[in-house]
Amino acid sequence: MAVPIRTAVAALCAGLAATLFITVPARADQDAGSHVQVWAVSGPERAAAAHEPRARVSLDDTTGTLSLSVSHGGRTVIEPSPVGIVTQQADLSQDLRFLHRKDRLVDERYRSKSGKRLERRVLMNETRLSFATAAGARLDLVVRASADGIAYRYVLPAGYGGVLGEASAFNLPPDASAWLSTYRADNEGQFAQHTAATAPTGEYSDQALFATGGGYTLLAESDLTGTYSGARLAHDQGTGTYRIKLADPTVHTDGPLATPWRAMVTGDLATVTRSTFTDDLAPASKVADTSWIRPGTVLWTWLAGGKEAGQSLAAQKAYVDYAAERHWPYEAVDAGWYFKTDEWDTTDPNWQTNSWMPELVEYARAKGVGIIVWIHQRDLDTPEERAQWLPTLERWGVKGVKIDFMDSEAQSMLQWYDTILQETAAHHLMVNFHGSTVPKGIQRTWPQVMTLEGVAGEEKRTNTAAHLTTLPFTRNIIGSMDFTPGAFQRVGLRPNSDAAEVGLTVAYESGLQMFAGTPESYDARPLARDYFDQVPAAWDDTRLLAGRPGREAVLARRSGDRWFLGGVYAGTAHTAEVPLTIGSGRWLVETIRDGAEGLVQDRQVLRGGDSLSVDVVDNGGFAGIACPWRPGVTTCSR
């Protein structure tokens, strides 16, 4: 049957419109007098385009090499940097020719169980640039741009064999200030300040912060799974170049491959600190029912009593009693509570344990306290061990596991992560990873992951005040961080004051905020203890009130109508002036600071936008709560 002309024309127009929406002309913009094709990618917020990051991808027609640069507000953030990947069957870092471009809008909403805020909005422009070599090998470069970052990844069809390495690198202005952590497999290096060029030759963790283009840029990674290998930054002193180096000499693939995102969180310091960019890039949650996942504060007993406490039911019951008295929702039992032996009867429900854990869990449950248990990764590294441990812990009623000593970002260990994430979700066990990788989007995809270590935390005896004031702008930006604050008993082993230690519980975000002190140390500091009674572990919003990496970090986090304040400082005693940018109206502000005889509480009524003045001691800090003020309101406590 003949098709009417008007119908055919309408169909043709619709088809052309759809094509124009997803495909741009095959030829990109070309710099005058050069052999370079250029594609620009910016975020979808057109009204604020001048203030958003913008990526520029270039192809040199002479060499067939790709580069990517990033600007923000018209100023260079990342200088043109090499892009490409090399596999066993094809070198996709050179001799490339452009095929086509497709664009799409990424517009998503999701709810997190923990982090800087619970409600999230993802709004990004995505551009997919397709290239091929003369031999027909294909490479897609996928670039995403949002209001707070630029990211790219490689997508390859099947048949190219293992990945031998990436050409990916980041070229920073040589004089850019840099806050870097020397790479360790457990990600527990100290952050120290350099310039991009003067940093010593070596390898650094990929969460590296640079002051560039009038703002800041944090390098990061997202959507890292066992299909690939973890990345670190390799640097040669004297240059501003930081190259991607993979943990494995060969990444094994058995089909099409999408590499992790190479992310650049960029903007002013407040934007970077508040960003959830690495979570936003990650796949959606794979856990359908998340009602059992409940963030909270935890009485953690390792630094309070060590292994001996872990071996004692009486000691653990006493800790449960204290947590119940304080209405802290969890108590964590660390190493020493179980042992392995081939003589155990694995049909016994108490196998692999010194038998008192089920009794402790029931004792705690009756008092409204959940139990979290430590377990070594080597005891979960086979299917048989996992099939014995995880159902048993679920049957006992254990709420979560603290899994320790992975100490690797090699592909084989990442494949183990993939498995344990599926199985802990199936057995309704929240997870705290120690001796681990860092979040890299894992908390969006697997929301039972409440926190990860991957930080030189409270256990370290070499931390500096500068390190503590850098963490909110580096490691903690990309996800929950189990620093374990509150270890008041470690006087002389930590570089900060008591008030700063209280402030860390807000300055540092963690879905399970583990308090590392002793009950005696809390009772000796009732202001700190009462503050811990109120501090949440999940937040409705987060704002940076004041900050300079390595010098000061003051964060405000909202729960309901109350803002909790945490400030940490490095340097000499002074009066800190903090803009109270938490909203209009009048606020009753209660602060805890260091006094001559211990902690002191102050109360004052301020308007939103006023300056909050707090006396800070050497390497000190403060904690606080701000609640809406009205006549008759005299305290923020509930």
Residues with catalytic annotation? Answer: 404, 459
Residue 226, classified by CB atoms within 10 Å of its CB into exposed (0-12), middle (13-18) or buried (19+), is: middle
Radius of gyration, alpha carbons of the chain: 26
Please give the Cα distance from 367 to 320 (Å, whole number): 8
Residue 126, classified by CB atoms within 10 Å of its CB into exposed (0-12), middle (13-18) or buried (19+), is: middle
C-alpha triplet 370, 371, 372: angle, nearest 5° = 125
Please give the Cα distance from 211 to 514 (Å, whole number): 32
Please give the Cα distance from 615 to 576 (Å, whole number): 6
Question: For residues 351, 357, 362 and 367, what is the CA-based torsion angle, rounded to 10 degrees?
Answer: -170
Is residue 443 a contact partner of residue 115, using CB atoms and an 8 Å limit? Answer: yes
Contacts of 7 (CB under 8 A, 6+ apart): none
Please give the Cα distance from 410 to 408 (Å, whole number): 6
Please give the Cα distance from 511 to 436 (Å, whole number): 16
Is residue 491 a contact partner of residue 522, using CB atoms and an 8 Å limit? Answer: no
> Could you say which DSSP state residue 182 is in?
B
β-pair type (85-87, 261-267) = unpaired
DSSP for 395-462, written as a single string: HHT--EEEEE-----SHHHHHHHHHHHHHHHHTT-EEEE-S----TTHHHH-TTEEEE--S--TT-SS
Tokens of 482: 């189990």
Please give the Cα distance from 340 to 351 (Å, whole number): 9
